[in-house]
């Protein structure tokens, strides 16, 4: 490999952004100048969406209007739900089902067909509709797959609480709604990761917002980008089912050459700040449930890997036990990631096409030259 080749575009600057910045050495994540700690503590997911899409935190009137618009867009066309039903009954992968359904949403979107692809107002409204409908799709798919009927969205619940209501058929208590809302805030954006880059690459061709989000979902479906929190929870359940001491388990796993999910990150060299916040919430949920089993198991594994291997946990490590204690099925953890990150995808699409340039990288050819080959007609081969 040549010294100037950046495999996977690692470290290559391809755009400028005002949306989020990561300091991997200090363990800092900032959205538009606000630390993730301040936003997680004081802002709702809807406020963070507004911040990412409009450039500032909303006042009460702006937030009220924005939330009303989000609520009005939650319903999903019956034909899309019918397709979701077919996918669920066919036991389709949840991320593949979400990808298909989001793509199908475009057929029923009220955006003008002759709208310019760079029309800010149209794109904002389209992005808002997609973001509002994704929770409805995920909840419907999950319930149908489990032999239940979808639950209609409620107009009196916030984005996070409404999803839990549609998923479980009952209104969540304030603690669960708050924890889930905070998790959505933490996952809303994270720089130019693989799925976000897919979204802006698609948008750079002047394609539509539905195509950009569909591209991002398809990228997130890959296990090298999404799915780590699902892997973490399956790992923790393996430890619990085997009735193993978590310290002994992690030592044996490393001796066997197994990778421990939820540790290490392409960007962070220290503990992911989002993991710190979700770790605290995981502990709170455990205390409320009367057992700290999952939290203590996680901290035992974390402490050992930090001390012995210098590996710090990422956001997936504690989102796993947090979601599990909320009763969320393990295989929809990645769709929930998409449910949150769509806010960042849409924001980056808006930002990039303001000063658009087609993303068209090149590859260095290392194959044979014409001097090394001789064309032979078909009948002579």
Convert the pLDDT of each residue in 72-122 to its tens digit.
Answer: 999 999 999 999 999 999 999 999 999 999 999 999 999 998 899 999 999
> Would you say residue 5 has pLDDT above 80?
no
133: left (phi over 0), alpha (psi -120 to 50) or beta: alpha
Residue that has been written with the tokens 């409404």 in this structure: 162
pLDDT tens across 260-305, in order? 888 877 788 789 999 999 999 999 999 998 999 999 999 999 999 9
Nearest by Cα to 45 from 73, 23, 75, 70: 70
Of the listed 181, 208, 316, 348, which one is catalytic? 316
Give one word for 174, left, alpha or beta, with left for phi > 0 and alpha for psi -120 to 50: alpha
Residue whose tokens read 């700290």: 292
The more confident residue out of 270 and 341 is: 341
pTM, rounded to two decimals = 0.94
Average pLDDT over residues 207-225: 96
Q: Is the pLDDT of residue 362 over 70?
A: yes
User: What tokens does 260 get?
Assistant: 């421990």
pLDDT tens per residue, range 124-166: 999 999 999 999 999 999 999 999 999 999 999 999 999 999 9
Average pLDDT in the chain: 94
Percent of the chain topping pLDDT 90: 83
Identified catalytic residue from 159, 190, 210, 265: 265
Distance CA 90, CA 302 (A): 38
Mean pLDDT of all residues in 31-40: 97
Q: Is residue 265 annotated as a catalytic residue, yes or no?
A: yes
Q: Is 56 a catalytic residue?
A: no
Q: Does the structure show a pLDDT above 70 at 2?
A: no
Decide: 225 and 193 in contact? Cβ < 8 Å: yes
At residue 308, the pLDDT reads: 87
Q: In the prediction, which pLDDT does 353 show?
A: 96
Q: What are the C-alpha distances in Å from 302 to residues 208, 264, 295?
A: 42, 11, 10
Asked if the model's pLDDT at residue 1 lies above 70, the reply is no
Domains and CATH numbers, the chain: 28-225+330-355 (1.10.580.10), 228-326 (1.10.230.10)
Q: Is the pLDDT of residue 187 over 60?
A: yes
| pLDDT at 24 > cutoff 90 | no
């Amino acid at each position: 490999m040549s010294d100037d080749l950046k495999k996977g575009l690692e470290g290559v600057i391809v755009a400028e952004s005002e949306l989020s910045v990561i300091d991997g050495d200090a363990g800092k994540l900032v959205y538009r100048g606000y630390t993730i700690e301040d936003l997680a503590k004081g802002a709702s997911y809807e406020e963070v969406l507004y911040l990412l899409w409009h450039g500032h935190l909303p006042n009460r009137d702006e937030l009220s209007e924005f939330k009303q618009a989000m609520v009005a867009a939650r319903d999903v066309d019956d034909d899309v739900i019918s397709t979701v039903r077919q996918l669920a009954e066919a036991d389709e992968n949840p991320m593949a089902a979400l990808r298909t359904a989001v793509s199908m949403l475009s057929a029923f979107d009220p955006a003008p067909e002759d709208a310019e692809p760079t029309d800010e107002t149209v794109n904002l409204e389209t992005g808002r509709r997609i973001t509002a409908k994704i929770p409805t799709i995920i909840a419907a798919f999950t319930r149908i797959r489990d032999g239940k009927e979808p639950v209609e969205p409620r107009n009196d619940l916030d984005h996070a609480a409404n999803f839990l209501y549609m998923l479980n058929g009952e209104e969540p208590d304030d603690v669960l709604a708050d924890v889930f809302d905070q998790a959505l805030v933490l996952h809303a954006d994270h720089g130019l990761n693989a799925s976000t880059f897919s979204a802006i690459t698609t948008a750079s061709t002047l394609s539509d917002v539905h195509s950009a989000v569909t591209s991002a979902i398809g990228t997130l479906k890959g296990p090298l980008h999404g799915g780590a929190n699902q892997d973490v929870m399956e790992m923790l359940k393996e430890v619990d089912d085997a009735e193993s001491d978590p310290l002994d388990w992690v030592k044996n796993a490393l001796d066997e050459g197994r990778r421990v999910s939820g540790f290490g990150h392409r960007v962070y060299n220290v503990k992911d700040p989002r993991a710190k916040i979700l770790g605290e919430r995981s502990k709170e949920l455990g205390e409320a449930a009367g057992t700290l089993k999952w939290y203590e198991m996680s901290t035992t594994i974390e402490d050992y890997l930090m001390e012995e291997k210098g590996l710090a946990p990422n956001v997936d490590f504690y989102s796993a036990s947090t979601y599990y204690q909320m009763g969320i099925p393990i295989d929809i953890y990645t769709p929930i990631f998409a449910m949150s990150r769509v806010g960042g995808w849409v924001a980056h699409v808006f930002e990039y096409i303001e000063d658009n340039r087609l993303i068209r990288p090149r590859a260095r050819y290392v194959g044979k030259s014409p001097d090394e080959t001789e064309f032979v007609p078909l009948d002579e081969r």
